[in-house]
Amino acid sequence: MSTIREDNGGSASMFASLLVDDAEAQRRLHARLVASATAEGILDVAYHAIDTPIGSLLLAATDQGLVRVAFGSEDRESVLSMLAERISPRVLNAPGRLDAAAREIDEYFEGRRNSFDVPLDFRLAQGFRRAVLTHLLEIPYGDTASYASVAARSGKPKAARAVGSACATNPIPVVVPCHRVVRSDGTLGGYGGGPQVKEILLDLEAHHD
């Protein structure tokens, strides 16, 4: 609260004990809101942040599936604002809907999982970019493909550059493995989470393949 009116001889101080934030009650009420919003089908976007070896990952899901994975380097507030603008402002921090995705990502980083089973929602990608994302899922764990070969697989052999931007704007990185796309000369190429993260992911897959 920004202002407590004090224009009546400090009357607000009488209510001091009512003005204390009750964090426990807020947690309880938040959980109750998430439960009833889920039951009524009006929780359009649920999100939850998890810790991983590549830093914090923000996961967001619609009722269709995982819709966004954001790296710790991305501004969390802008990611959530984008979800509110593009999908729905009915956005709540609701870990329950992300349980399965969080568990699978944990297993992936422990080297115990080489493909993801959670449903995906591709609504944040359109047209050719979306087609590219679905083809990325065909690159096996531990393998890499060149931008040009993904372009060919997506039906536009000359669109290697467009494949690059599809990877750069991949809304569901790690789970949709844009990190497996590298340059034809063997160098890694760019990555949304930074080149080191790309290297870590490829190393991890090379060691558990």
Partner 1 sequence: MRPFEQVVVDHGPVVLRVCRAVIGPNEAEDVWSETFLSALGAYPDLRPGTNIEAWLVTIAKRKAIDRHRARARGPVPVENLPDMPAPVQDKPGSRENELWQALRELPSKQREAVAYHYIAGMPYAQVAEILGNSEAAARRAAADGIKRFRATYKGELS
Site residues (CB under 8 A) for partner 1? 1-5, 8, 11-12, 14-15, 17-19, 21-22, 25-26, 28-30, 32-33, 36-37, 40, 42-43, 45, 47, 80-81, 83-85, 88-93
Task: Give strand pairing partners of 50.
Answer: 57
Cβ within 8 Å of residue 202, ≥6 positions away: 144, 179, 180, 188
Query: Is 37 or 188 the residue whose CB approaches partner 1 more closely?
Result: 37
In the complex, minimum distance from the CB of residue 64 to partner 1, in angstroms, rounded to a whole number: 18
Q: How far apart are the first and last CA of the chain?
A: 53
Query: Is 35 or 206 the residue whose CB approaches partner 1 more closely?
Result: 35
In the complex, minimum distance from the CB of residue 24 to partner 1, in angstroms, rounded to a whole number: 11
d(CA 95, CA 106) in angstroms, rounded, equals 15
Of 46, 124, 174, 178, which one is the catalytic site residue? 178
CA-CA-CA-CA torsion sign (115, 202, 50, 89): negative
Query: Is 36 or 56 the residue whose CB approaches partner 1 more closely?
Result: 36
Cα-Cα-Cα-Cα dihedral of 105, 39, 125, 194, to 10°? -30
Residue bearing tokens 């494949």: 163
- 167 tagged catalytic: no
In the complex, minimum distance from the CB of residue 40 to partner 1, in angstroms, rounded to a whole number: 7
Query: Is 37 or 200 the residue whose CB approaches partner 1 more closely?
Result: 37
In the complex, minimum distance from the CB of residue 85 to partner 1, in angstroms, rounded to a whole number: 7
Cβ within 8 Å of residue 85, ≥6 positions away: none
Query: Is 12 or 188 the residue whose CB approaches partner 1 more closely?
Result: 12
The answer to whether residues 140 and 208 touch, using CB atoms and an 8 Å cutoff, is no
d(CA 139, CA 142) in angstroms, rounded, equals 9
In the complex, minimum distance from the CB of residue 8 to partner 1, in angstroms, rounded to a whole number: 6
Residues annotated as part of the active site = 178
